[in-house]
Amino acid sequence: MHTVYRAENLFDAHLVKDALEHAEVPAFIAGEYLTGGVGQLPALDYLAVMVPDSSVDLAQGIVREVEAQLAEAREALRAMDDDPGDPLAVPC
């Protein structure tokens, strides 16, 4: 098994794993159950998405696509947070 993605959180790990499995690349999330043992503290560097060695090249391309989509979504959320005219914004 080879690590193709280190996740910041469980949601990102599952997004990558699901994208890989959709492309018929078997994937495994290492450290998924360790996050519960940490409690309320952030689990840094515990989560890794792994694939068989034979699937690394294909998986890396898929991971790059998912990372780009995640970055774009995060940037859109930041832009919404910065927009004072946002009707859904909650005043601080």
User: Is 13 a member of any domain?
Assistant: yes
Q: Give me the pLDDT at residue 87, please.
A: 57
User: Is 91 a member of any domain?
Assistant: no
| Token reading at 47 | 């989560």
User: Is 39 a member of any domain?
Assistant: yes
User: Is 92 a member of any domain?
Assistant: no
> Interior CA angle at 50 toward 7 and 5, to 5°?
30
Range of the domain at 70: 2-82
User: Is 73 a member of any domain?
Assistant: yes
In this prediction the pTM is 0.76
Judged against a pLDDT cut of 60, whether residue 38 lies above it is answered with no
Phi first, then psi: what are they for 15, rounded to 5°? -60, -45
- Quickly count: other Cβ atoms within 10 Å of residue 21's Cβ: 13
Q: Give me the pLDDT at residue 32, please.
A: 85
Give the residue, 17 or 91, on which the prediction is more confident.
17
- Total of domains in the chain: 1
User: Is 62 a member of any domain?
Assistant: yes
Question: Quick one: which of 36, 38, 9 has its CA closest to 17?
Answer: 9
User: Is 74 a member of any domain?
Assistant: yes
User: Is 88 a member of any domain?
Assistant: no
Specify the CATH number for the domain of residue 64: 3.30.70
Structure-token match 């890396």, residue found: 60
DSSP alpha helix (H) spans, the chain:
10-22, 35-38, 56-82
User: 45-80, pLDDT tens digit by residue?
Assistant: 789 999 999 999 999 999 999 999 999 998 988 888
